[in-house]
Amino acid sequence: MAYIRSTTFPKKDDPPTFIKEIIKAFERTTDLDYKAENPKEYTSDAILKKIGKSLSDLGFDVEKRGDSSKRIKKSISTGNDAQIQYFIDAYHPVWRCGLEVEAGRGWKSNAVYRNIVQSILTLDVDHLVIAVRNEYRSKKEISKDYDKLARLCDALYSNNRIEMPVTMCVIGYGMPAVRDNPKNPGGFER
């Protein structure tokens, strides 16, 4: 069973019932823990492929990279009868739920910001799930991506200057680094 953390927003409301099913799908997916010897197995595409069958079983359309007919295109209305197209990792048409999986530099490359803005502007997305690594480890640092994204969402939903038109669930996957291992004092690998 995978090590999964999750938080839903707005915190004052109960999440939609299907969120528990999505979290269970991540929990049942094995091999989400990053291993430095095989970094290509832990890209966002690779993680989406690992979780894809479980998401499909729940009724999600899941993007298949490399096959342009299997990419999920969404439209953002610009108000001028024009539309901007973007791609989403998975979408459930009944739940009106978009799902994005980020790995690697998802936080540092600002992908999570793009995911949030696009979902807010998409008329057929009422719920957004963003899955990020609990921690992104590079040779120089550990970035607590799940904690950072959860704090960002907390700020968005507690701010009374804006009203968020979507509910959100942040999922953190992957075992955190071991920090108190005397054989690995830097704690950058498990």
User: Does a structural domain hold residue 34?
Assistant: yes
**pLDDT computed for residue 57 by the predictor:** 97
User: Does a structural domain hold residue 110?
Assistant: yes
The mean per-residue pLDDT over the stretch 79-104 comes to 88
The mean per-residue pLDDT over the stretch 139-163 comes to 90
**pLDDT computed for residue 45 by the predictor:** 87
CA angle, 91 then 151 then 47, to 5°: 40
For residue 124 the two structure tokens come to 């057929």
User: Does a structural domain hold residue 186?
Assistant: no
Helix (H), strand (E) at residue 111 = helix 111-121
C-alpha span between 116 and 127 (Å, rounded) = 10
pLDDT over 70, % of the chain: 81
110-127: pLDDT as tens digits:
889 999 999 998 889 999
- Provide the domain limits for residue 122: 4-173
Residue 11 has pLDDT above 50, yes or no: yes
User: Does a structural domain hold residue 179?
Assistant: no
47-72: pLDDT as tens digits:
899 899 999 999 999 998 666 667 88
User: Does a structural domain hold residue 185?
Assistant: no
User: Does a structural domain hold residue 151?
Assistant: yes
User: Does a structural domain hold residue 85?
Assistant: yes
Domain count, the chain: 1
User: Does a structural domain hold residue 188?
Assistant: no
Residue 108 has pLDDT above 60, yes or no: yes
**pLDDT computed for residue 20 by the predictor:** 97
Residue 184 has pLDDT above 90, yes or no: no
CATH at 75: 3.40.91.20
